[in-house]
Amino acid sequence: MIALPSVGLRATTLREPRQVRKEAALNGSRRAQRAALPSVGLRATTLREPRQVRKEAALNGSRRAQRAARPAALSDDYVNESEGSEGGRMAEQLAIYRRYRASTFGELRGQDPIAKTLRRAVADGRLGHGLLFVGPRGTGKTSTARIVAKALNCLAPADGEPCGSCTACIAIRDGATFDVVESNAATSNRIDDVREDLIPLITNPPTDLKRKVLILDEVHRFTNDAWDALLKWLEEPPPGIVFIFCTTDPSRIRPAILSRLQRFDFRPIAQDEIAGKLTEILKTEKRNAEPEAIALLARLADGGMRDAESMLDQLLSSGVDPLRAADVEELLGLPSAEHIAQLATAMLDADAPAGLAVLSDFELRGRDPHVVADHLTDLVRRALHAALASGGSVPADASRLPAGLSLGGEPGAPLPLAGRDRADLLRLAHALRRLESGRGDADLRLGLELLLLGTLTPTTQTAIAPGVALAVAPVTAPATSTSVPVPSSAAVPAAMKPTRTPRAATPSTPPTTQAAKNAPAAPVSDEWTRMLAAADPATKPLIADARPAFASGVLTLLYGVSKSFMRQRAEGRRDRIEAIAAQIYGAGVQVIFLEQDADTALREVWTDA
């Protein structure tokens, strides 16, 4: 045998494998290194402890050594600032919407009927075992559910209101009880989730509180199987449990479930209520904001208190004080109200250079075209309301606006779109509504540019009467066919373009002139009404959406841009349609199927108003 060093090495022989001898030597060196480590803050560890345990022990020892070396005068402040109250971590900064969440029925904003009903039901002991809270996001559904849970379990309630200071209220507020459970059906919506998680909670009686409350959010995401597993417990719930379901889409909940619940509809919160809550928050936070900035936040929230509080939290983080409306637009990445008014004016006046300059500025600043379109639509809508309330045009003085309506602008300056007529605003509103069907940013940006370039400028046009004479030009057909009359290009009905047809014998239609494209379609005649009545069920849907124009033995059917599929199907039944037309318009009538031009479809937005 070979003599081996005795420092931390166990006896080995040459007959042992090389890997065994290598591990023995490595273990001996580790023990020697551990013996040389300082003992400050380190607990005894063994090789059998996981590596993470040894790492945490060393880290805790180094922290204690640093605190021991810290000056006593700085110790308390350092702990308060860097370690906080728990676990040596930075104190958590709660979001504003969590810090200022309503904790009693009296603190709920904009939901007075619901708060009054629930408070009285709790006070009288008449609250049902199943509640359904329906409403848009940020209107207080989950907050109300928590208030109901506290009111049911409060040890010292006052007329249905929770006291907020008893052990039950504090436990529910801090989430320190297993008897009030919140679950999100957006992630736990399968039958297995109900069986494994919810049913055990339902079957077990309350442990700490008087009543067990199960709050389920986004319940419209539950699958049908999950509802089936929960239905029996909703029909015959065990004593001491209350179900509170919250949803934004009650139409996706089955009637069998709805019939077993008491429904409460939360309405969007009024702008005055939102502005009042934001003003109170600013006062508590000792921050300042101009009334115009608060009003803008209230309008942007669109009835959701949480949205307004989240936006205010983001703005306060910037450190701007006082907060102005321009700061709100810049920090939130919104188009300025002044530029939106300039864009609307340019569209109404067909001032392409001015409007394109505004759109270019929006693009350079990274403004979302959808946000631009939304703000533009909102301004036109408010201006239209002002025009309707002021006799047909937008007033120049803000004092003549209806209560609660604002068009923005600087104090003392004329209102945006002042003097604009109701008809012009209505045409622009229709045009913007059509733009919402754009598939992406490029489509929407192109639509805004078309509004500026005069494509949708209203023009004075004369409608084509249904009995107008069409010039007929003979067409030389192949030897196996006979000549049939076709309409000339000048007499084709408004905004029509010829489309291909699979029939070889059908003559082609000459291209339409610009004047014919600009002319509107003819009004519906009595003959067309009788033709729709005579059509069979398979044919009538194919021609019902078409615009007819009949002259000189030719019936032209114009289909909209979105009705291309119906036009193709109608062409496939040409023989049947021509047979029906012959009964109404006379023998030998020819039917032509055309499709409306996209540019003309946009232009009709103006003429429809």
- Model confidence pLDDT, tens digit, residues 369-421: 888 988 898 888 888 888 888 788 888 777 777 777 777 766 666 778 888 88
Task: Enumerate residue ranges in the chain where pLDDT < 70.
Answer: 1-92, 409-413, 437-442, 454-524, 597-609
Q: How far apart are CA 416 and CA 437, in angstroms?
A: 27
- For residue 281, what are the CA distances in angstroms to 110, 111, 295, 308, 524? 17, 19, 14, 11, 61
Beta bridge partners of 244: 131, 215
Tally the C-alpha atoms within 13 A of residue 26's C-alpha that lie toward its C-beta: 7
Last residue of a domain, one of 209, 244, 265: 265
Tokens representing 87?
Answer: 């676990």
Q: Distance (Å, rounded) from C-alpha 407 to C-alpha 402?
A: 11
- Count the neighbouring beta carbons within 10 Å of the beta carbon of residue 245: 28
**Alpha carbon separation from 208 to 161, 162, 168, 467 (Å, rounded):** 20, 17, 8, 85
Extract the tokens encoding 351: 């001032």
Domain boundary among 265, 288, 315: 265
Closest CA to 493 of 467, 519, 474, 472: 519
Contact at 8 Å (CB) between 257 and 227?
A: yes
Provide the pairing of β-strand 590-596 with 241-247: unpaired
Report yes or no on 445 lying in a domain: yes
Q: How many domains does the chain have?
A: 4
In a shared domain, residues 261 and 292: no
Assess whether 115 and 254 both reside in one domain: yes
The string of DSSP letters for 460-512 reads: ---PPPTT----EEE----TTS---EEE-GGGSPTTEEE---S-TTSPPPPPP
Long-range residue pairs from 290-296, CB within 8 A, at least 24 positions apart, any chain: 290/322, 290/323, 290/324, 290/325, 292/324, 292/325, 293/323, 293/324, 293/325, 293/327, 293/328, 295/271, 295/325, 295/406, 296/325, 296/328, 296/329
The confidence score (pLDDT) of residue 65 equals 47
Which pLDDT score is estimated for 397?
74
pLDDT at 506 (0 to 100): 40
421 and 561 together in one domain: no
Q: Is residue 349 situated within a structural domain?
A: no
Do residue 103 and residue 215 come from a single domain? yes
Which amino acid makes up residue 308?
A: A
Q: Angle CA(84)–CA(87)–CA(91) in degrees, nearest 5? A: 30
Q: How many CB atoms lie within 10 A of CB 464?
A: 20
499 inside domain: yes
- Which CATH number do you get for residue 137? 3.40.50.300
Per-residue confidence (pLDDT) for residue 267, from 0 to 100:
93
- DSSP states of 266-298: PPPPPHHHHHHHHHHHHHHHT--B-HHHHHHHH
What proportions of the chain, in percent to the nearest 5, are helix, strand and coil? 50, 10, 40
Domain end point (choices 265, 280, 306) = 265
Q: How far apart are CA 412 and CA 1, in angstroms?
A: 106
Q: Is residue 80 in a domain?
A: no
Do both 177 and 316 map to the same domain?
A: no
**513 shares its domain with 377:** no
The two three-digit tokens of residue 269, written as one number: 């919160």
Whether 555 and 476 map to the same domain: the answer is: yes
Written as six digits, the tokens of 40 are 């400050």
The answer as to whether 545 is a domain residue is: yes
Pairing state between β 472-474 and 485-487: antiparallel
Q: Is the separation of the CB atoms in 361 and 329 below 8 Å?
A: no
* Same domain, residue pair 310 and 193: no
Same domain, 387 and 488: no
DSSP state of 449: H
Q: Is 447 exposed, middle or buried (0-12, 13-18, 19+ CB in 10 A)?
A: buried
Q: How far is CA 236 from CA 199, 260, 375, in A?
A: 13, 10, 50
- Give the contacts of 317 (CB within 8 A, at least 6 positions apart): none
Is 98 exposed, middle or buried, given 0-12, 13-18 or 19+ CB atoms closer than 10 A?
exposed
d(CA 482, CA 486): 13
Q: Which residues are paired to 496 by β-bridges?
A: 596
The tally of CA atoms less than 13 A away on the side-chain side of residue 34 is: 15
Residue 567 C-alpha from the chain's centroid: 35
Q: Is residue 604, in this structure, part of any structural domain at all?
A: no
Residues 312 and 373 in one domain: no
The answer on 321 and 206 residing in a single domain is no
> What does the mean pLDDT of the chain come to?
75
Q: Is residue 6 assigned to a domain?
A: no
Q: What is the CATH number of the domain that holds 563?
A: 3.30.300.180
Q: Are residues 106 and 255 in the same domain?
A: yes
Which residues, in sequence order, are CB contacts of 106 under 8 Å at separation 6+?
115, 161
Query: Is-cis flag, bond preceding 322, omega within 30?
Result: yes
Residue at 7 is within a domain: no
Confidence (pLDDT) at 337: 85
Please give the structure tokens belonging to residue 286: 């000792």
Domain that holds residue 286: 271-331
Single-letter amino acid, residue 224: N
If 0-12 CB within 10 Å is exposed, 13-18 middle and 19+ buried, where does residue 543 land? buried
Q: What's the CATH number where 282 sits?
A: 1.10.8.60
What is the pLDDT at residue 549?
86
